[in-house]
Amino acid sequence: MKKEEIPQDDSALKTLTKEVCYAVDDAGNYTTELSTGWEVKAKALDVAWEDIDQRIADAKQKVLNNEASPLLYFMEWRLMDVPIVAAYTGFWKWTVKRHLKPNVFKKLSEKKLQRYAEAFNVSVEELRRVKE
C-alpha cells in the first residue's frame, strides 16, 4: 500500500488512538504512517461495543432482580472478569465468585467493600447501589 492510500476512516477510537501502518513511500522504501482507522475495522468495533453494552444492561437487570450482586454490574462496566477482579482486590477467585451472590454481598464488611470500590474506581456507596 502506498503512503497516500492508508485509510483514514472515522471510528469510535479516532480521538483516542491511531494505528501504525506500513506503507511504501515515493522512493519505494517501507515506512510507517498513522491511520485513524478504516471502515471495516470501525464496523467490527461498533459490533463489539454493542455486545458490551448488552452485557452491561443484562448484568444491571440481574442486579435489580436480586439475581446477582452489584459486583457483576461493575465487572461488566469495567470490562473485568473474576481473575482480574481477584488480582486487583487480593481476594481468591472463589471468594469473588461467592461475593457475586446478593445475600453474601449484603453481609460484606466495609473493609472488603472498600477493596472492591477501589478496584472499580467508585465509592462504596456507588458500589452498593445500581441505579435504574
pLDDT at 46 over 70: yes
Cβ proximity of 10 and 37 under 8 Å: yes
pTM comes to 0.77
Confidence of residue 59 (pLDDT cuts 50, 70, 90): very high
Domain edges within the chain: 3-37, 51-128
- For the record, the C-alpha cell of 126 comes out as 456507588
- CA 127 to CA 114: how far, in whole Å? 9
pLDDT at 96 over 90: yes
Beta strands in 11-60 (DSSP E): 19-24, 30-35
Confidence of residue 101 (pLDDT cuts 50, 70, 90): very high
86 CA to centre of own chain: 16
Of the listed ranges 34-38, 103-107, 117-121, the least confidently predicted one is 34-38
- Phi/psi at 32 (5° precision): -105, 145
**CATH classification for the domain delimited by 51-128, as one of 1.20.140, 1.10.260, 1.10.287, 3.30.160:** 1.10.260
